[in-house]
Structures are given as structure tokens and as C-alpha cells.
Copies of this chain bind each other. A is one copy, B any other.
Amino acid sequence: MSAQNPTEAPSATPEDADKVMGRLGALAGTQVTLSIDAMGGDRGPAAIVAGISRSASKNDSVNFIIHGDAAVLRKLVKKHKRLEGRVEIRDAQGVVSMDEKPSQAMRRADTSMRSAIDAVKNGEAQAIVSCGNTGALMATSMIRLRKIEGVNRPAIACLWPSRNPQGFNVMLDVGADIRADARDLLQYAMMGASYARNGLGLENPRIGLLNVGTEDHKGRAEIKDAQELILKAAGIGGFQYEGFVEGGDIPGDRVDVIVTDGFTGNIALKTGEGTAKLVGDFLKEAFKATPLSRIAALLALTSLRRLQKRIDPRRVNGGVFLGLRGTVVKSHGSADATGVSAAIKLAYELAASGFSDRLAARVASAAAAAQTDQ
């Protein structure tokens, strides 16, 4: 697949996006067991089990271990006939709340989150999905799974609707850590390139470093240092470095991967989501404004649904934790069945492709090369 050259492909449509997101569907048939934290989401376990059921109906090759209050989960699972024989329930009475401190949550042994992570640690499942507290999920994953050799700070990568032919850009870190020095940003570039290659099918992804301007003299000291490190590593990392990019390039087509620290990335992500939602709501109001505009809305229904699908954050639900010995997909806390199912699909594809091992191999070879280089 070569989606690299924008002149070869028209601007992305929802169909393209589905194609790309389903690229690893070629791996269907690869049996995968996913470990699901069923308790952490804002909508409770019912929404999560409904999402699992939706995924199970679409993909015969996936089974589940789900973690939480066994009595509650048994009742929920019974409601979905298609889950018969495909779900194992693990009782875990503790629930990590959304406002619990990560340092506290990671010490509790009885939580559904910890139980879900341990199933991957023990080799019973190949990837974890949780809608729970992000900080707690990262802290517990780091303690239980451990970091890949050579990675200092793991990162969370998200997919962002964009003007690129593949339909999405990768941005990281969007919230694993509020700090990042130049070497961390270099590792984010390596890991982001690996994710874009395996997740979006881009042979040689274009990487940009997020800054307040594109001129070389702009920005904070650590960003200028990172620029030098990333430029040097482009060959080994298998990516092209395109220089500094600005906020407007995140949904643009200048680069495929946007590298930044977790503070800035998290705020950019939520600003983008909030702005898209504002414009969408204003659009709905505009169509309700006059009788004529209501008729127009009816006529344009298919096109508007197409637009809605294109910018629907539930379709790309799932931040991926990069830099750990195991694949962890963090779904939105408020995800409904559609959102949970999207996160499960992503987890399945990454697990089936052996992404976690590929990423570790790439980071190791880069570290070895840097050693030789010195």
C-alpha cells in the first residue's frame, strides 16, 4: 500500500478512512484474546459489554477476558447471546475512580484495571482496552508491564482526522507525561513513525515537531535540541523529518506524525475536539433556523451523515500507549458502545500485527545504532 504520495490519491473520504483503519483486517483469522477493563468508564459496564458484543459480531477471531464485578458482568453478558463461549469473566471488586491519583491507584491490587493489565503481563491476552482513568492506567501499566528497553517516557498516541490521503494523522504525546526533554521527543518521533507505519501503512512517514512557528530560531530550548536529534535519527527511524509545524498542521497534510510533549498535546487534542463539536452544533442550529433550511437538511441528509461520520471522534476512539511491553488502548471515558467497539477494533489490529514487538525491535536497533555512532 502506498498512500504516501498525495498526487496519487484524492483527498480522504470516509471510505478511504475505513479502508485504512481496516487495513490490518487482512490479518483477520489471526486469533486474538483481548483483556477488557469493564468498570472504568463513565457510562458503567453496560456500555462496555455492549461494545464488546458489537465487536464480537463483526469479528469471529477475537475472544475476551473481561474484568470487574463478576455478578454484574455475568448478568450483562447473558443479555448478549452472541457473547456465549467467547467471554471469560474475572472477578475484581475494586474500581479506579476518574479522579483517583495515579500513584494511589497503581498500588491497589484488587482493581479491574490491574486485573486487565495482568492478563497481558501473564500472556493470557495480547492487548488491553480500558475506558478508565488515563493517569492510573499509564502508571499501573508501567509498573506491571514495564517499559521497552531504551524508552524513558512512554507516550499516548492518538489519530486525528486530517487532509492526508490516509485520512488521519498521528499525534503524540497527548497526555502520558506533562514533561518531555529533547531525548523524549526523539523517542516519540521513533515510536510515532513505527505506529504510522504499522497502523496507517505509511512506508516512510513524514514527521513534524510542534512549535509556535516554523522558523528554526523559534520555540523552547528543548524543542530546538530535539530538532537536531530527530533530524539525525531519520534514517534509522525510517521516517522523513519535515521540521517545525504549527497547530494548524495537526489536521493538515504537511506531515503524518506530529510530535509534542504531553501537556501541549493533550490541550491541542481537547481544543480540536471542542472546536469540531462547536462547529457541528452551530451547523445543526443553522439547519433548524428556517423552514427552507429544514427542507435543505432533509435533502442533504446523506451528505451530512457522511460529514458527521468523517469528523465523529468515536470512529477513531482509542489512544495507544507506546513504549510498553504490551499493547494498551485507552478509550474515551465517555465512550458508548460504538466508541468501545472502535477501541477494540484498534486493539485487535495492533495485537494481530505484532505491533508491540515491532516497535520494541525498532527502538532497540536505533539505540544500537546510536551506540555505534558515538
Contact = CB atoms under 8 A, between A and B. Distances in A.
Interface string A274-313: 1111111111011101101101111110111011001100
A251 B263 contact: no
A220 interface: yes
A306 B289 contact: yes
A99, A271, A274 interface centre (most CB from chain B within 10 Å): A271
B250 A271 contact: yes
B274 A250 contact: yes
Contact of A217 (B101, B264, B270, B283): B101
Contacts of A252: 274
A143 interface: no
Nearest to A307: B286
Interface in A128-148: none
Interface string A147-164: 000000000000001110
Interface string A173-198: 00100110000000000000000000
A247 interface: yes
A267 interface: yes
A289 to B, nearest CB: 5
Q: Give the size category of A's interface with B.
A: 35 or more
Given A220-B178, A251-B274, A272-B275, A300 B296 contact: yes
Stoichiometry, as copies per complex, reads 2
Decide if the interface of chain A is mainly helix, strand, loop or mixed.
Answer: helix
B311 A279 contact: yes
B264 A247 contact: no
A247 B269 contact: yes
A166 B299 CA distance: 33
A365 B35 CA distance: 59
Interface in A92-110: 99, 101
A248 interface: yes
Given A178-B212, A266-B212, A295 B303 contact: no
Contacts of A91: none
Interface of A: 11, 99, 101, 161-163, 175, 178-179, 210, 212, 215, 217, 219-220, 246-252, 260, 262-264, 266-283, 285-287, 289-290, 292-293, 295-300, 302-304, 306-307, 310-311
